[in-house]
């Protein structure tokens, strides 16, 4: 039960304040270094567990300073008062004052409680003892906070910058930064809300405000019925959070079959050679017609590719990017693709017959190689050659969702040095505490996996050419990996 005058924080908010993953926070709780009650922690306990937390070093203070300096410079330039930035800065300052007042109030409350308890006890306290208790309590109440160790102040400030949204019925949470839309923030956090146009027209993104307040930030054509208005419905693609805490009832995709088939015409933005074998194709959809998909799914691409006679090239590819950016779709095209249609398509891109500015039709999404919903088991990704494409999408999504205990990536190549995005994998490895990356040759994969003691209790995602994936899947089953924990994408 949550009692007393402590400031309580959800795990998500505490992790957000500390700039760490929720998983890292949960690990400290499991290891007994931090108390939690009903999924909440106190600001005081968090400060004790992270004594090194220094507000002066936090990015938020830097952001505040930058805003203040920018606002001051503009004020001088434009001779107008006040700018939005100056107002934001004042709000930050008030947040700090509020946090300070809250802390002082908490201390007075503690003092009154202890005096009350002592007065009711026998033997009755002497005047001398009461005077001493009062002096000590007041000294504590008025004591300055240890410099730079004030979680509550940081929370008060961040509440101005970013709103916390809880989604019902799933219980998922996300933060809305600045005035970004609820839809953009939800996708960035790895949620899969229902939506269509992304532009205020179709109404598919409507959500019900259960508590808190949302406000429109862009115009919309969709008209709510009287009943929807009465029930506080808003469009996630057109609204942002106004209150610092918002609870929304949202229709979310729970499985691939919840995502409708779509057809989108996208433009080629970039064609980039990653090595002699693999190209990265970057498509961008129109603003009002984006592709909704789940991480790990495939689509069919179609292009004219400069062909005479009107025949198009069509080929199926996994989307290598994260659904959190539904306008910018990335594909890894491999010259030696085993599938004839994909080899032709890839060759056309390699030859320059598919080039920047061309239209490419995208339809789908297909497939069920997606992260298992609500699982918190460790994640093991095994990519063989260009099987890395769907794995890349899954890893970006898993990082956004921040639910897995740990992430291991084995990227096996049939050619020496065939890991065509090594820097990206190394960057994950360096930036994330619970991430491990092992590049290796395909033949070394069985031995490397055998050394992983957590395989049977992990969710395993295996992608690559069918002739390599299937024997490896048999090895994993024989090693005791339950079938429901083994997810395979073979092409
Ligand atoms: S996605 Fe169409 S109105 Fe929001």
CATH of the domain at 195: 3.10.20.30
Query: For ligand 1, what atom is nearest to the CA of residue 197?
Result: 2
Q: What's the whole-number mean pLDDT along residues 83-103?
A: 70
As a whole number, mean pLDDT of residues 162-185 equals 91
CB 47 within 8 A of CB 151: yes
Kindly indicate the confidence band of residue 39, based on its pLDDT and cuts at 50, 70 and 90.
Answer: confident
Ligand 1 atom 1: the closest Cα is on which residue? 198
pLDDT at 124: 84
Helices (H), 121-222: 127-142, 151-161, 182-188
Please compute, for residue 480, the number of CA atoms within 13 A of its CA located in the half-sphere on the CB side: 9
Residue 414 has pLDDT above 50, yes or no: yes
Q: Is residue 164 part of a domain?
A: no
**Measured in angstroms, how far is the CA atom of residue 288 from the centroid of ligand 1?**
9
Asked if pLDDT for residue 210 goes beyond 90, the answer is: yes
Confidence of residue 444 (pLDDT cuts 50, 70, 90): very high
Q: Is the CB–ligand 1 distance for residue 207 below 6 Å?
A: no
Task: Provide the pLDDT confidence category of residue 156 given band limits of 50, 70 and 90.
Answer: low
Same domain, 136 and 95: yes
- The sign of the dihedral angle between the CA atoms of 290, 294, 295, 300 is negative
Poorest-pLDDT segment among 53-57, 102-106, 287-291: 53-57
d(CA 323, CA 293): 6
Q: Which two tokens stand for residue 19?
A: 């700039």
Of the residues 185, 191, 192, 235, which should be mutated to test ligand 1's pocket, given the most ligand atoms within 8 Å of the CB? 235
Q: Using CA atoms, how far apart are residues 439 and 236, in angstroms rounded to an integer?
A: 41
**CA triple 413-418-423, angle to 5 deg:** 115
Going from the C-alpha of 421 to that of each of 170, 329, 330, 466, the distances in angstroms are 35, 17, 13, 22
Other beta carbons less than 10 A from residue 192's beta carbon: 25
Structure tokens at 134: 């009062």
Strands (E), 320-434: 328-334, 359-366, 379-384, 407-413
Whether residue 374 is contained in a domain is answered as no
- Based on the fold, state whether residues 297 and 313 are members of the same structural domain: yes
Banded model confidence at residue 1, pLDDT cuts 50, 70, 90: very low
Same domain for 248 and 261, yes or no, is no
Q: pLDDT tens digits, residue range 329-359?
A: 999 998 877 777 788 888 888 888 889 999 9
The closest alpha carbon to 327, from 272, 265, 374, belongs to 265
174 lines ligand 1 (CB under 6 A): no
Task: Indicate if 196 and 220 belong to the same structural domain.
Answer: yes
Q: Are residues 299 and 383 in the same domain?
A: no
- As a whole-number percent, the residues of the chain with pLDDT over 90 amount to 45
382 three-class SS: strand
What b/e readout covers 222-256, taking b as 16+ CB neighbours within 10 angstroms?
Answer: bebeeeeeeebbbbbbbbbbbbbebbbebbbbeeb
Q: What is the dihedral of CA 276, 386, 490, 340, to 10 degrees?
A: -30
Q: Are 205 and 195 in contact (CB under 8 A)?
A: yes
Task: Give a yes or no: residue 423 inside a domain.
Answer: yes
pLDDT category at 70 given cuts 50, 70, 90 is low
pLDDT at 151 over 70: no
Confidence of residue 63 (pLDDT cuts 50, 70, 90): low
Distance separating alpha carbons of residues 157 and 92, to the nearest angstrom = 5
Res. 31: pLDDT tops 90: no
pLDDT of residue 3: 43
**Residue 195 Cβ contacting ligand 1 at under 6 Å:** yes
Strand ranges across the sheet with 245-249: 173-177, 162-168, 245-249, 206-211, 233-235
> Is 235 within 8 Å of 193 (Cβ atoms)?
no
Least confident of 106-115, 304-313, 440-449: 304-313
Instruction: Output the six-digit token pair for 20.
Output: 């760490």
pLDDT score recorded for residue 168: 92
**If you average pLDDT over residues 145-151, what whole number do you get?**
55
Q: What is the DSSP letter of 385?
A: G
Last residue of a domain, one of 313, 335, 366: 366
Q: Is the CB of 378 under 6 A from ligand 1?
A: no
pLDDT at 418 over 50: yes
Peptide bond into 26 cis (omega under 30): no
Q: Which two tokens stand for residue 352?
A: 């320059």
Which pLDDT band holds residue 126 (cuts at 50, 70, 90)?
A: confident
pTM of the full structure: 0.74
Are the C-beta atoms of residues 245 and 173 closer than 8 Å to each other? no
Statement to judge: residues 268 and 308 lie in one domain: yes
| Counted domains in the chain | 5
Q: Which residue, of 366, 393, 422, is where some domain finishes?
A: 366
Q: Give the per-residue pLDDT at 78.
A: 55
Residue 372 in any domain: the answer is no
- Position 466 pLDDT exceeds 80: yes
Is residue 354 located within the same domain as residue 387?
no
Q: Is residue 18 part of a domain?
A: yes
User: Of the given ranges (193-202, 255-264, 295-304, 337-346), which has the lowest mean pLDDT?
Assistant: 337-346
Considering the domain architecture, whether residues 437 and 422 belong to the same structural domain is answered as yes
Across the range 417-434, mean pLDDT stands at 90
Which ligand 1 atom is nearest residue 235's CA?
4
Pocket residue to mutate for ligand 1, from 199, 221, 252, most atoms within 8 A of Cβ: 199
- Model pLDDT, residue 88: 66
Assess whether the C-beta atom of 165 lies below 6 angstroms from ligand 1: no
484 and 385 assigned to the same domain: yes
Share of the chain above pLDDT 70, in %: 85
Measure the CA–CA gap between 314 and 143, rounded to whole angstroms. 71
CATH code: domain of residue 284:
2.40.30.10
What is the pLDDT at residue 268? 96
- Span 470-479, average pLDDT: 91
The answer to whether position 162 is within a domain reads no
356/413 same-domain check: no
Structure tokens at 94: 């008030």
Q: Which phi and psi angles does 256 have, rounded to 5°?
A: -55, -35
The rounded distance, in Å, linking the Cα atoms of 474 and 452 is 16
Considering 157, 186, 217, which residue would you say is the last residue of a domain? 157
Residue 48 Cβ < 6 Å to ligand 1 = no
Residue 230 lies in a domain: yes
Which tokens is 425 given? 């994998």
Query: Would you say the CB of residue 203 lies under 6 angstroms from ligand 1?
Result: yes
Q: Tell me which residue of 139, 141, 193 sits closest to 165, measured CA to CA.
A: 193
Higher pLDDT: 240 or 130? It is 240
Residue 1 lies in a domain: no
| pLDDT over threshold 70, residue 306 | no
Q: Tell me the CB-side half-sphere exposure of residue 19, using CA atoms within 13 A.
A: 11
Domain that holds residue 311: 257-366
């Amino acid at each position: 039960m949550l009692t007393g005058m402590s400031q309580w924080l959800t795990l998500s908010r505490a992790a957000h304040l500390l700039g760490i993953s929720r998983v890292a926070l949960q690990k400290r709780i499991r290891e007994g270094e931090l108390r939690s009650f009903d999924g909440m922690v106190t600001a005081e306990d968090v400060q004790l567990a992270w004594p090194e937390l220094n507000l002066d070093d936090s990015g938020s203070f830097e952001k505040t300073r930058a805003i203040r300096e920018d606002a001051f410079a503009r004020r001088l330039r434009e001779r107008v008062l006040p700018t939005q930035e100056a107002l934001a800065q004042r709000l930050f300052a008030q947040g700090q004052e509020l946090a300070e007042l809250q802390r002082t109030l908490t201390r007075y409350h503690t003092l009154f409680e202890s005096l009350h308890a002592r007065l009711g006890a026998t033997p009755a306290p002497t005047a001398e003892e009461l005077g001493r208790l009062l002096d000590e309590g007041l000294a504590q109440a008025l004591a300055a906070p240890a410099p730079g160790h004030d979680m509550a102040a940081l929370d008060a400030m961040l509440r101005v910058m970013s709103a916390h949204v809880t989604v019902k019925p799933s219980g998922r949470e996300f933060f809305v930064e600045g005035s970004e839309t609820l839809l953009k923030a939800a996708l960035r956090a790895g949620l899969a809300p229902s939506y269509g146009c992304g532009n205020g027209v179709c109404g598919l993104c409507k959500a019900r405000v259960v508590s808190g307040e949302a406000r429109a930030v862009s115009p919309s054509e969709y008209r709510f019925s009287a009943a929807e208005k009465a029930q506080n419905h808003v469009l996630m693609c057109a609204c942002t959070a106004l209150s610092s805490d918002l609870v929304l009832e949202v229709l979310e995709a729970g499985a691939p079959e919840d995502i409708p088939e779509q057809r989108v015409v996208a433009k080629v933005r970039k064609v980039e050679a990653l090595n002699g074998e693999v190209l990265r194709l970057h498509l961008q959809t129109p603003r009002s017609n984006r592709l909704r998909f789940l991480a790990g799914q495939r689509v069919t691409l179609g292009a004219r590719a400069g062909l005479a006679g009107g025949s198009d090239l069509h080929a199926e590819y996994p989307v290598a990017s994260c659904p959190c950016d539904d306008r910018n779709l990335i594909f890894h095209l491999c010259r030696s693709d085993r599938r004839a249609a994909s080899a032709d398509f890839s060759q056309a891109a390699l030859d320059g017959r598919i080039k920047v500015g061309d239209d490419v039709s995208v339809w789908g999404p297909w497939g069920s190689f997606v992260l298992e919903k609500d699982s918190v088991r460790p994640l093991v990704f095994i990519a063989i050659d260009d099987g890395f494409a769907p794995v890349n999408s899954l890893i970006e999504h898993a990082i956004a969702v921040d639910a897995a205990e740990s992430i291991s990536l084995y990227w096996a190549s049939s050619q020496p040095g065939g890991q065509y995005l090594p820097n990206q994998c190394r960057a994950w490895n360096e930036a994330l505490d619970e991430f491990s990356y092992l590049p290796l040759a395909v033949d070394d994969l069985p031995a490397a996996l055998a050394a992983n003691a957590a395989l049977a209790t992990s969710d395993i995602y295996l992608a690559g050419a069918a002739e390599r994936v299937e024997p490896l899947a048999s090895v994993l089953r024989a090693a005791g990996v339950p079938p429901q924990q083994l997810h395979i994408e073979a092409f």
